[in-house]
Structure 1
Amino acid sequence: MNTQRESSSHLSYDVFLSFRGEDTRKNFTIHLYFRLCQVGVNTYIDDEELRKGDVISNKLEKAIEQSRISIVVFSKNYASSSWCLDELVKILECRAKLNQVVLPVFYDVDPSQVRKQTGSFGEALAKQKQRLFGDEIMEKWKAALTEAANLSGWDLRNIADGHESKFIESIIKQVLQEVNQTPLDVAHYPIGLDSPIQHIVLLLQSGCEHEVRMVGICGVGGIGKTTLAKAIYNRIFQQFDGSCFLSDVRSKTEEFGPVKLQEKLLNQILKGKEFEVDSVAEGVNLIKARLGSQKVLIVLDDVDHRSQLESLTREKSWFGSGSAIIITTRDEHLLYGLGTSEIYQAKLLHDNEAQQLFSRHAFNSFSPPQEYDELAQDVIQYSGGLPLALVTLGSHFQGRSIEEWRHEFKKLRAIPHCDVQKILKISFDGLDDNTQSVFLDITCAFHGCYEDEVTKTLNACGFYTESAISTLVQRNLLQRDCRYLVMHDLVRDMGREIVRLESPRDSGKRSRLFNPQEVRDVLQENKGSENVEVLVVERRALKGVKLSIKAFQKMINLRVLKIDDLYISGDFKLLSKELRWLSWKGCPLKYIPSNFPAEKLVVLNMEGSDVQDFGLNLQCCRSLKELNLSDCKRLRSTPNFRGSKSLKILSFENCSSLKEIHPSIGNLESLIDLQLSGCKKITDLPSSICQLKSLEYLCINDCLCLQTLPVNIGDMQNLVIIHAWGTGIKQLPVSVEMLRNLEHLQVESRNSEAKRSFSRRRVRRIECLPIFIFHLSLPYFGFSEHDIPRDIGRLFNLRYLDLRGNNFLYLPFDFSKLPLLISLCLNDCKNLQTLPSLSNLDYLENLYLSNCQKLVKITGLDYLPSIKMINMIDCTSLQNPFNEGFFSAIALSTPCIKFLELQLQIYVESNEIPDWCNNKVTAPSICLTMPAVKNNEYNFLGMVLWFVSHFCNVTTRLQKFDVTIGQLSEFFLTWVPDSQGEVSCVYYFSFSNGRPFNDLDIIKGGEQLRVEDGSDGGIIKKIGVHLLYLDQHGNVTSFPAVTDHSYTPKSRGWQ
């Protein structure tokens, strides 16, 4: 990764000329040199006649280092000079370390000869080797020639018809652009910038050519927004009539006011003029008047208030066509309503990038020394990919001994580094009181919790939680991960440090307690105070410690309490009456005391407790919205639910001693989610359960003794999901037809004997299914073609259909009215003979037909543009439908853009590779040379990999194989369905837009392609490779490759 040069003002030369004197000194090079001097470019040209020996002089090395640009003139005899080759090595070192611009010029030589060291360059290097230059030097020279030839430059043969003077003018133009730039200082080690720079530049270039583009870069403090904006500015500012980078807009607005920023914007873009602005309104008018016809680049860095944007870049119409505006901010919300074209969320560094950046600052290398590796990985993991932390902590740990590392890291975990804390806290300081309180509660108690649970709890505490969470997400202090609230560990630590500083010496006087040792001290020594609002004991942190309830007596404002696995005795009326959220998982009490202060309690979680009877009167819990008694193995009965009108979530999951549900459950008029999975002794559900008009989710999985669903279940009009796996249910009530909002219906016995008896039994036919069903699973119901619900064929919203193990010979409906179907599972339908045409299923991704032993015909397989998985193992009557035409159709339906991607997996009972597959071997690996085809006549579409694999006596059904093209390699892991003996595993790779091989621009003829079995135990027995190309007429064709039968693969095994 390149390192930005600290300052361009200390350079001695604009251009260093590297050339072979005997070839070009008296013609091309001297003309180029004089022309550079004429336009004022300070150019270093070496006097080759004064060179002595084979090693370049210190003076010459210094001249290269002190040049902004190196122009390398490759001519026929360039490589015959060891001096020139050493110059080139030094030049490329400066490119890597000092960001020097290198411009290659190919003077009457083919760039490919330079790149591959053929022709005169190959001959010259051969002679150099005869002069006894060592292998190391030769490899350096070859690498330098290859690298230089791959850079963007000029080929005399292809520019200006070989006219030298015009050729030189094109070089002069490029040099002047480079010389006249004044780049911003980006970062000492700009690691991880290439990909986001390319992404944002593409965002700026998308859309109409004359459109004014506005792109926002958002992210938490320290994530590298400013660094990224500077790098982009340096990359593109020369493409504009004028440009301005306004840094630290937030702090400079506070210090100088918006008018000074307007003046700086005008003065920097309209150089040579000094503007004085009296008011914001006048500044706006000047910006509109003076910049309205200019194509400008403007970067506003670290914006934190809408007024800053209003005074500087409120309207795109203020600027000329083609202008670009980049805004960096921690607050994404500021960008809405401004006509922002795109918003880019700055990303944390990947693991390898994080290691490089940290190591460069801590060790001045790209990886830690072996003896520091474990310690370094701890710090890198702690930094969580945040560039600010990696740079700051890398510098902090630099030069310290191993023992010092251990002490400093231990301190770091308790007290965040002040520089990191300072930057992150800027975002916190800009929040209102309500949002600050919600943020601190989440950092100390609710990190990683369900958003709904956090919202209802903190709303009950008097906060405006939805608004606060929205603000925190917009300011990148919080993220939504599915339904959970999460934040970067350093952001969490920043919040916890704010709480620690409320009372650094006396933890009992802080608003929130979370550190296990500090919590232990406060509780055991009765140090709590009225300041404590939140107290969290991490599970098992104080396991075995016995406490008196008196330890909580002074905490009269306690509203959030987590005391998992903690043993507490005493009079529970001493607990705070402000309690809203209580988590007491693993509670050792046999019953809940009746004097428990639960008037304001919103969430009660007693998962995994020893509770046998729920003694607490729920009529005293009128605010309770969530009650979790899951995994309470000794619980014998549910509470009386009368009076609990607010309860929305109720869980008795895995309460294996629970035999019945109290009939008063019908009084829970607000209940939405009822979890009864794993209640193995429940034999029936009370009829009153059908009074739950708000219930949306009913889960009764693994209720083994449950024989029926309530007859009137159709009265539960809001029911959306019924999950009933592993039950004893033998019949669906007819009233299921009335569940008009039902989207998921899954009923299945997990007991094999029950499945067999179930499949032999004829059930009353269900005439009508709820029309909005999204997921329908009715396996092993014994349905024949006569009693399967024909209504399935009109469920236009259906995505997932599972009819495994039924008895029908055919499906009495077609798929024409199931256009959204994604997954179709008919495994174990042993009597199934034919299927309706699949040709209308444009979104079908997964087709499961294993063990359909009588299936003889499938139509429409060639018309599945979204298909990703087909399992036809043990379809013994079905002729293999996967011919060359099938894969040609798949190839045409897949967008052909740029990258090699695993598109389709097929598993079929076969021990032979078909004849149409034109490259095959009976071996666990294959090595091919790609066919030489004309790229302008044929486009590579993709390839079929056909494996015959053996799965007897193997410990895993994971199949691992490696694919290598040229120097790029990627491994793949796939899960192969159950089968015995040999099975064909077929994979189609499209050359489309996705990973892996994301550095692969084109697959060329002559490139080596290798496929190797990487599975433990050698599963693959035969391999076939079939390459597909698209000709100019839109037809798919194939060309055979050359198989290298002498190829020896690497040793196999997990890597």
Structure 2
Amino acid sequence: MASSSSSSLSPRNINKYDVFLSFRGEDTRDNFTSHLYSALSLKSIQTFIDDQLNRGDEISQSLVYAIENSAISLIIFSEGYASSRWCLDELVKILQCKREYAQIVIPVFYRVDPSDVRNQTGPFGDSFSKLEERFKENSEKLKSWRNALKEAASFSGFDSQNFRLESELIKKAVHHILKRLAEMSPCNYKNQLVGVESRVKEIESLLGAESKYVYTLGIWGFGGIGKTTIARAIFDKISSNFEGSCFLQNVREESQRPGGLAYLRQELFSKLLKEENVILDIDLNFRRLSSRKVLIVFDDVTCFNQVESLIRSLDWFMPESQIIITTRDKQILRNWGVKKIYEMKALMFNHALELFSRHAFRQNYPDVGYEELSRKVMEYAQGVPLALKVLGCFLFEREKEVWEDAINKLRRILHPSIQEVLKLSYDGLDDKEKNIFLDVACFLNGEDIYSVMKFLDTSGFYPEIGISVLIDKSLIVVSCNKITMHDLLQGLGREIVQQESINRGNRSRLWHHEDIYEVLTHNMVCNNEFGRLTIITNLRYRIVSELSI
């Protein structure tokens, strides 16, 4: 069969049909082919089937159009297939499309031996002999049919003799077709996304670790790091392996709307049961799902109750079902007893540069003369996909001078689109946790964890639980006895303090040496926190040497 790489070179990248069915109606229309067509339709595979029982001397132009505008041709070779000139003319046209458009051709040998099709022998050959007698004066036509049968029978396909039940054959064929369609899709994650393929493979290996139980996987990381993107790529790649699948996006946002959870539950049942107007009987629907192997992705979950309200318990689902949860909060994954947690990391430099360049230059690399400016953006974004996309779009087709100014501004003021996404995690904290986050962002990033804990304890912020919550929400990292925070999150914290000073007329925290100098020399009040400020600045900064006071 044609490879996926060759199919991407086809001039017909967008097809009207996914599959064209070629079959002998008298043999299989009312049995095997009808069941196969139904199975393809259930998987939302756009399939052309010729329902006309009466045909003319030549295949119609509409049939030619359908063949040319299909991604895959599925040929059902039955005993009487070669007795039909229309079937053989279809076959010749199909092979022409394979050569010209890299169309995928898949044979199904239904109760016939592949070698009989290839050599026109046995019962299959007897059918062809009858047609030969009718067209013995047209040697060129007969030759083209013989060559077509020989060529098509040599392709890798499905032999019904290898399956005990026809239902197994149909299931296997449909799964293979879904896989081939995914490979040749112009929206394939390999073609559209950056730095995803290796992560998809890592997560696939985790998902395959167990199969006898309902398997749960968590994808964890802070906002904008790419959790939804990777979950969608996984879903698109493996969903065809399941009897039902559903990707519930933006669970947090949808659940906050009036009736949002009810809407999500309706969508969940509708997708898993493949029914547009599903019956609103929760217990009945769960009982029906208990006999199906399903895949569910809950995207952007922010509390345990969101998933619990939707599925109640994992006990409802058939073993081998898989549930993926993306979240910023690791505690949610613990509460659900998630088997494996995949932590999303920032993109490597080469992938980050490629992603940024796609948005800033509409190509995979920076324009000549913009290399150093792009490197500065890389240092700022530190591999966070959200920041790379936002900044790439923001800087697109701007002059170098504007780039320089924008980069300097970003070092002081976080871009609003980035701030909006990151701040959702901050908004979910309580007051003590918010204070810890702001202290780390303004003063304590990179400090010794024990000194930080001692200071926070003195401040009455309950650091043991507070630090634990911030770690779970991917807002800080503790490693090698140091407490650290991503530069974008540090920028978020400092921007929050800046906004507070605008709204309230005073500042709770100071970190820039010029601001500190003003307070220390002019006895300015810093929101009644001057004592804390002095302790913090002595912890991190040597003020006398820095300010030359």
Specify whether residues 301 and 445 from structure 1 end up closer, same or farther in structure 2 by C-alpha distance, changes over 3 A only.
same
Specify whether residues 408 and 584 from structure 1 end up closer, same or farther in structure 2 by C-alpha distance, changes over 3 A only.
closer
Equivalent position to 2:535, from 560, 570, 578: 560
Structure 2: state its 5+ residue gaps.
38-45, 51-63, 75-94, 108-113, 115-151
Equivalent position to 1:515, from 500, 512, 517: 512
The CA deviation at 1:288 is 4.1
- Provide the residue aligned with 2:270 in structure 1: 267
- Provide the residue aligned with 1:352 in structure 2: 350
- Provide the residue aligned with 1:194 in structure 2: 197
The CA deviation at 1:87 is 4.6
The CA deviation at 1:515 is 2.4
Query: How many Å separate the matches in 1 of 2:466 and 2:500?
Result: 22
Higher Cα radius of gyration: 1
Query: How many Å separate the matches in 1 of 2:419 and 2:272?
Result: 36
Specify whether residues 436 and 82 from structure 1 end up closer, same or farther in structure 2 by C-alpha distance, changes over 3 A only.
same
Query: How many Å separate the matches in 2 of 1:169 and 1:311?
Result: 36
- Provide the residue aligned with 1:371 in structure 2: 369
CA distances 1:46-97 after superposition (whole Å, capped 9, x unpaired): xxxxxxxxxxxxxx9xx98x765589xxxxxxxxx99987755xx8xxxxxx
Aligned AA (1:528) = M
Are the equivalent residues in 2 in contact too, given 1:223–1:386 (CA < 8 A)? yes
Specify whether residues 69 and 428 from structure 1 end up closer, same or farther in structure 2 by C-alpha distance, changes over 3 A only.
farther
Specify whether residues 415 and 560 from structure 1 end up closer, same or farther in structure 2 by C-alpha distance, changes over 3 A only.
same
Q: Does 1:296 align with 2:294?
A: yes
The DSSP-based 3-state class of the residue aligned with 2:318 is coil
Q: Does 1:177 align with 2:174?
A: no
Query: How many Å separate the matches in 2 of 1:154 and 1:319?
Result: 41
Equivalent position to 1:529, from 525, 531, 537: 525
- Provide the residue aligned with 1:336 in structure 2: 334
CA distances 1:922-962 after superposition (whole Å, capped 9, x unpaired): xxxxxxxxxxxxxxxxxxxxxxxxxxxxxxxxxxxxxxxxx
Query: How many Å separate the matches in 1 of 2:401 and 2:105?
Result: 48
Give the TM-score normalised by the residue count of structure 2.
0.69
Query: How many Å separate the matches in 2 of 1:173 and 1:308?
Result: 34
The CA deviation at 1:260 is 3.2
Q: Does 1:236 align with 2:235?
A: no
Q: Does 1:41 align with 2:26?
A: no
The DSSP-based 3-state class of the residue aligned with 1:414 is coil
- Provide the residue aligned with 2:475 in structure 1: 477
Specify whether residues 358 and 350 from structure 1 end up closer, same or farther in structure 2 by C-alpha distance, changes over 3 A only.
same
Are the equivalent residues in 2 in contact too, given 1:455–1:466 (CA < 8 A)? yes
Specify whether residues 455 and 372 from structure 1 end up closer, same or farther in structure 2 by C-alpha distance, changes over 3 A only.
same
Specify whether residues 162 and 320 from structure 1 end up closer, same or farther in structure 2 by C-alpha distance, changes over 3 A only.
closer
Give the TM-score normalised by the residue count of structure 1.
0.37
Are the equivalent residues in 1 in contact too, given 2:330–2:472 (CA < 8 A)? yes
Specify whether residues 82 and 249 from structure 1 end up closer, same or farther in structure 2 by C-alpha distance, changes over 3 A only.
closer
Aligned pairs for 1:841-856 within 5 A: none
Aligned AA (1:329) = T
CA distances 1:210-259 after superposition (whole Å, capped 9, x unpaired): 31101111110011111111111111122222122211111111113433
Aligned pairs for 1:945-1024 within 5 A: none
Aligned AA (1:511) = S
Are the equivalent residues in 1 in contact too, given 2:175–2:240 (CA < 8 A)? no
Aligned AA (2:506) = K
Q: Does 1:584 align with 2:547?
A: no
Query: How many Å separate the matches in 1 of 2:19 and 2:195?
Result: 29
Specify whether residues 582 and 413 from structure 1 end up closer, same or farther in structure 2 by C-alpha distance, changes over 3 A only.
closer
The structure with the greater share of residues assigned to strand is 1
Are the equivalent residues in 1 in contact too, given 2:304–2:336 (CA < 8 A)? no
Are the equivalent residues in 1 in contact too, given 2:215–2:339 (CA < 8 A)? yes
The CA deviation at 1:186 is 8.5
Are the equivalent residues in 1 in contact too, given 2:175–2:241 (CA < 8 A)? no
The DSSP-based 3-state class of the residue aligned with 2:323 is strand
Query: How many Å separate the matches in 2 of 1:184 and 1:248?
Result: 25
Are the equivalent residues in 2 in contact too, given 1:531–1:557 (CA < 8 A)? no
CA distances 1:690-745 after superposition (whole Å, capped 9, x unpaired): xxxxxxxxxxxxxxxxxxxxxxxxxxxxxxxxxxxxxxxxxxxxxxxxxxxxxxxx
Equivalent position to 2:464, from 462, 466, 469: 466
The DSSP-based 3-state class of the residue aligned with 2:483 is strand
Query: How many Å separate the matches in 1 of 2:332 and 2:503?
Result: 39
Query: How many Å separate the matches in 1 of 2:105 and 2:387?
Result: 36
CA distances 1:820-878 after superposition (whole Å, capped 9, x unpaired): xxxxxxxxxxxxxxxxxxxxxxxxxxxxxxxxxxxxxxxxxxxxxxxxxxxxxxxxxxx
Specify whether residues 429 and 43 from structure 1 end up closer, same or farther in structure 2 by C-alpha distance, changes over 3 A only.
same
Aligned AA (1:441) = D
Specify whether residues 226 and 158 from structure 1 end up closer, same or farther in structure 2 by C-alpha distance, changes over 3 A only.
closer
Query: How many Å separate the matches in 2 of 1:161 and 1:266?
Result: 34
CA distances 1:547-567 after superposition (whole Å, capped 9, x unpaired): xxxxxxxx466353426xxxx
CA distances 1:998-1055 after superposition (whole Å, capped 9, x unpaired): xxxxxxxxxxxxxxxxxxxxxxxxxxxxxxxxxxxxxxxxxxxxxxxxxxxxxxxxxx
- Provide the residue aligned with 1:814 in structure 2: none
Query: How many Å separate the matches in 2 of 1:84 and 1:391?
Result: 38
Aligned AA (1:514) = W
Are the equivalent residues in 1 in contact too, given 2:508–2:527 (CA < 8 A)? yes
Query: How many Å separate the matches in 2 of 1:522 and 1:103?
Result: 77
The CA deviation at 1:16 is 8.8
Aligned AA (1:340) = V
Specify whether residues 582 and 190 from structure 1 end up closer, same or farther in structure 2 by C-alpha distance, changes over 3 A only.
closer
Are the equivalent residues in 2 in contact too, given 1:15–1:67 (CA < 8 A)? yes
Between the two structures, name the one with larger relative contact order (CA 8 Å, sep ≥ 6).
2
Are the equivalent residues in 1 in contact too, given 2:304–2:335 (CA < 8 A)? no
- Provide the residue aligned with 2:254 in structure 1: 252
Specify whether residues 556 and 199 from structure 1 end up closer, same or farther in structure 2 by C-alpha distance, changes over 3 A only.
closer
The DSSP-based 3-state class of the residue aligned with 2:195 is coil
Query: How many Å separate the matches in 1 of 2:349 and 2:267?
Result: 40
Are the equivalent residues in 1 in contact too, given 2:195–2:351 (CA < 8 A)? yes
Are the equivalent residues in 2 in contact too, given 1:287–1:318 (CA < 8 A)? no
The structure with the greater share of residues assigned to helix is 2
Query: How many Å separate the matches in 2 of 1:379 and 1:400?
Result: 14
Query: How many Å separate the matches in 2 of 1:378 and 1:443?
Result: 21
Q: Does 1:381 align with 2:387?
A: no
Are the equivalent residues in 2 in contact too, given 1:250–1:303 (CA < 8 A)? yes
Are the equivalent residues in 1 in contact too, given 2:20–2:70 (CA < 8 A)? yes
Query: How many Å separate the matches in 1 of 2:342 and 2:451?
Result: 30
Query: How many Å separate the matches in 1 of 2:442 and 2:452?
Result: 12
Query: How many Å separate the matches in 2 of 1:236 and 1:399?
Result: 38
CA distances 1:263-316 after superposition (whole Å, capped 9, x unpaired): 332222223342336xxxxx4x45543322222111111111111122234432
Specify whether residues 173 and 255 from structure 1 end up closer, same or farther in structure 2 by C-alpha distance, changes over 3 A only.
closer
Aligned AA (1:370) = V
- Provide the residue aligned with 1:452 in structure 2: 450
Aligned AA (1:411) = K
Are the equivalent residues in 2 in contact too, given 1:435–1:472 (CA < 8 A)? yes
CA distances 1:332-358 after superposition (whole Å, capped 9, x unpaired): 011114231111111211111111111
Query: How many Å separate the matches in 2 of 1:522 and 1:586?
Result: 14
Are the equivalent residues in 2 in contact too, given 1:212–1:320 (CA < 8 A)? yes
Q: Does 1:13 align with 2:9?
A: no
Structure 1: state its 5+ residue gaps.
18-24, 45-59, 72-80, 92-101, 109-152, 278-282, 534-554, 564-580, 589-608, 610-1055
Q: Does 1:416 align with 2:374?
A: no
The DSSP-based 3-state class of the residue aligned with 2:266 is helix
- Provide the residue aligned with 1:990 in structure 2: none
The DSSP-based 3-state class of the residue aligned with 2:500 is coil
How many residues are matched?
442
Are the equivalent residues in 2 in contact too, given 1:509–1:532 (CA < 8 A)? no
Are the equivalent residues in 2 in contact too, given 1:247–1:301 (CA < 8 A)? yes
Specify whether residues 85 and 378 from structure 1 end up closer, same or farther in structure 2 by C-alpha distance, changes over 3 A only.
farther
